[in-house]
Amino acid sequence: MTRTAEELLRAFQRQERQFVERRFPLQFTSEVPALRELYHQAKGLRWNPETDVPWARFDSARLPESLREAARLTWSRRAWGTYPGIAENTALLLRLCLESGESQMDAKLFLSLRPAEEAKHLEACFTLAERLGGYVPDPGDEAVALASNHAFAQMALDPAVRPEVTVAALGCLDDQLDLDLHVSHLQRATDETVRAVLRLMATDKARHALFAWVWLGARLGGLDAAGRRAVGEAVREMLEQVILQGYRNTWLLPDSPGRRRLMEAEAAAAGAGLGASTVEQEKSVLRATVGQVRERLRQWDVVVPVATHPELGRL
């Protein structure tokens, strides 16, 4: 899914020519009630990273210096992975607004709130890292940086890529895996403040993943066989070229000093109940998520081709 600077420039130029806003008639009729309900939930289930997390009860001074360093690196890495969601969801919202005219108001309303939720997740991760000794703004390792950067926002805006393809890859697979990993971290966390952060984030992420499944389910009926194949191929590509390259799981990154440093930090944080899972636990989550995503899409006649990995085998 990585694209060159020239390809991205050409895509932007095509977007300027093809996207023309169609505002009227402006209607608010609900087409997919489940999506409208998710929007109402997002309005009601608001939280503030400054006041709804028991920061005053978090005493990082009780932790050994080595463990504070490990945890601050772990939560800094989580912030790096959270940041792209702000742009990706804003891009998808723009795509729907510019392309769908009066339709899909349910999805547009929901997506208008989601970037703000991603921003709260980013703030919570940053604040926790700061309280552990200071946020780390850069992995300091080119391999880690490359695996963390993908042009997903540009993909969401590219008129050559159907929105169903984008939502299947980023929502049904990546958002679902992100949710499942956060639930795993929460189940193993013992610190009260860390648990509060993970619980609040996981609650939002459950809604985000559900949005992808409901929206895609409502749209697949309008796709022909070629469109469904494109959806399946996009999920496989996301899995093989992004997820299995370490986008969410540090142990899948190419071997480098930065990877080894991050893995040691996450192992220490997992052992201390500070919001991480062990490699074996994450492997179990990854396998289960991929299996569930594949089976759920199969119910809609979307076949996800098998992806392979040297260590994990066929997925």
Quick: pLDDT tens for 157-209. Answer: 988 899 999 999 999 999 999 999 999 999 999 999 999 999 999 999 999 99
pLDDT of residue 125: 98
Global pTM? 0.92
pLDDT of residue 147: 87
- Rg for the chain, CA atoms, rounded: 20
User: What is the pLDDT, as a whole number, of residue 84?
Assistant: 93
CA distance 84 to 122: 10
pLDDT of 115:
96
Rounded distance between C-alpha atoms, residue 38 and residue 61, angstroms:
40
Residue 299: DSSP 8-state: T
Exposed / middle / buried, residue 56 (Cβ in 10 Å: 0-12, 13-18, 19+): exposed
* pLDDT tens figures, 86-103: 999 999 999 998 887 778
225, exposed or middle or buried, with CB in 10 Å at 0-12, 13-18, 19+? exposed
Q: What is the mean pLDDT of the chain?
A: 93
Residue of higher predicted confidence among 65 and 98: 65
Q: Mean per-residue pLDDT for 233-245?
A: 96
Amino acid 264: pLDDT: 98
Per-residue three-class SS string for 195-262: HHHHHHHHHHHHHHHHHHHHHHHHHHHHCCHHHHHHHHHHHHHHHHHCHHHCCCCHHHCCCCHHHHHH
Question: With pLDDT > 90 as the criterion, what percentage of the chain qualifies?
Answer: 83
Q: Which residue has the tokens 């463990």?
A: 67
What is residue 15's predicted lDDT score, i.e. its pLDDT?
Answer: 60
Q: What is the pLDDT of residues 19-45, one digit of tens each?
A: 666 677 788 889 999 999 999 999 999
CA distances from 59 to 120, 134, 194 (A): 22, 14, 11
**Is the predicted pLDDT of residue 1 greater than 70, yes or no?**
no
DSSP label of 58: -
Could you report the per-residue pLDDT of 260-277, keeping only the tens digit for each? 999 999 999 999 999 999
> Residue 64: which residues within 8 A CB-CB, separation 6 or more?
none
User: In the chain, what are the domain boundaries?
Assistant: 33-40+60-314
**Can you tell me which residue has the tokens 């191929």?**
233
Each residue's pLDDT tens digit, 265-312? 999 999 999 999 999 999 999 999 999 999 999 999 999 999 989 889
- What is the reported pLDDT for 205? 98
- CA distances to 228, 230, 231 from 223, rounded to whole Å, are 6, 10, 10
Single-letter amino acid, residue 51: T
Cα distance between residue 236 and residue 303, in whole Å: 9
Helix axes 33-44, 192-219, angle to 10 degrees: 160
What topology is assigned to 33-40+60-314 in CATH? Ferritin (1.20.1260)
Instruction: Name which of 117, 113, 292 is nearest 213 in CA terms.
Output: 292
Asked if 256 and 144 touch (Cβ cutoff 8 Å), the reply is: yes
Question: Residues 311, 314, 315, CA angle at the centre, nearest 5°?
Answer: 105
Q: Give the residue with greater pLDDT, 132 vs 19.
A: 132
What 8-state DSSP symbol labels residue 32?
A: S
% of residues, the chain, pLDDT over 70: 95
C-alpha to C-alpha distance for 91 and 170, rounded to whole angstroms: 12
